[in-house]
């Protein structure tokens, strides 16, 4: 168990939907219990971002450098990395000056698999979803702007997206979570390797809902082709990470560099009132 007087260490998980988030959150909860860490969940059940949710997250980031291990779970109803990038970078610097570390990560998934999982999870009509632009490029949009309830104008810009992507220290793949499990245990300094199969907390009782997807529809080859074609920005996002291109930006020190100027229309979000 870490002393609250020890240098600050922050593990920050940005949860892209249908990308192993429930699994990773359960693991982080177990690690928090094992290490006696603070666990800070940022998820609004109504999914809507507000001025209050922004203030809540910003105030948290302004004080998280005060010591000990803190595990952050960031999901629906808060800023995406478009606007969170600079406050997160400022928090990282305050933590560094206090002798600590901030480790930010997320998990990603093959875009076609992600699309199919989301359609089944939300009970959507597959053919309608394939042709509905609101369901396109959800991974790209969620990374920048969080929940789709908050999406306004979307900025499709590779260089801008790369400038925001370097906020992550690691990006893991749902197809192989072993590296994520090892890394998180190392970051937290657990005495043993905690995995989802070695739960400290018991699983939810029968009747309690979970985020597990039950597959009722599966696309044919032509539908798969269309999903891939119509979600080109998610395909690019996945390829950028899988090919290691984003790591070049991160290792070059872009995480603390000024991002390209943002135009006031493209990529901006307005608050929900």
Structure tokens at 231: 């979600």
Could you tell me if 39 and 71 are in contact, meaning their C-beta atoms sit under 8 angstroms apart? Answer: yes
| Mean pLDDT across 57-74 | 93
Above pLDDT 90, what percent of the chain?
68
| Mean pLDDT across 11-29 | 94
Could you tell me if 60 and 129 are in contact, meaning their C-beta atoms sit under 8 angstroms apart? Answer: no
pLDDT confidence of residue 201: 53
CATH class of the domain defined by 9-197+217-255: alpha beta
> In this model, does residue 10 exceed pLDDT 60?
yes
User: pLDDT per residue over 196-220, tens digit each?
Assistant: 666 555 555 444 445 566 778 899 9
Lowest mean pLDDT among 65-69, 163-167, 182-186: 65-69
Helix (H, G, I), strand (E, B) or coil at 174: coil
List the strands of the sheet with 170-173, edge to edge: 38-42, 69-74, 9-14, 101-108, 170-173
CA-to-CA distance for 84 and 174, rounded, in angstroms?
24
User: pLDDT per residue over 159-171, tens digit each?
Assistant: 999 999 999 999 9
Supply the pTM of this predicted model: 0.86
């Amino acid at each position: 168990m870490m002393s609250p007087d020890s240098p600050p260490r922050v593990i920050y998980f940005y949860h892209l939907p249908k990308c192993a988030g429930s699994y990773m959150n359960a693991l982080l909860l177990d690690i928090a219990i094992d290490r006696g860490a603070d666990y800070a969940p940022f998820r609004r059940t109504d999914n809507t971002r507000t001025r209050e949710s922004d203030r809540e997250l910003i105030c948290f980031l302004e004080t998280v450098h005060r010591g000990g291990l803190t595990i952050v779970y960031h999901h629906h109803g808060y800023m995406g990395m478009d606007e969170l990038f600079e406050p997160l970078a400022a928090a990282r610097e305050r933590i560094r000056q206090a002798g600590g570390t901030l480790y930010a990560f997320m998990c990603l998934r093959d875009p076609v698999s992600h699309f199919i999982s989301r359609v089944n999870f939300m009970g959507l009509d597959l053919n309608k979803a394939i042709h509905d632009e609101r369901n396109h490029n959800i991974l790209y949009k969620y990374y920048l702007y969080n929940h789709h309830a908050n999406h306004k104008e979307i900025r499709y810009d590779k260089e801008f997206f790369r400038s925001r992507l370097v906020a992550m220290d690691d990006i893991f793949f749902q197809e192989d979570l072993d590296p994520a499990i090892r890394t998180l245990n190392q970051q937290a300094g657990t005495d043993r390797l905690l995995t989802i199969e070695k739960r400290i907390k018991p699983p939810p009782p029968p009747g309690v809902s979970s985020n597990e997807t039950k597959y009722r529809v599966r696309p044919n080859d032509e539908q798969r082709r269309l999903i891939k074609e119509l979600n080109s920005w998610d395909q690019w996002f996945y390829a950028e990470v899988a090919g290691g291109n984003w790591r070049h930006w991160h290792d070059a020190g872009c995480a603390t560099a000024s991002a390209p100027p943002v135009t006031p229309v493209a990529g901006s979000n307005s608050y929900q009132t």
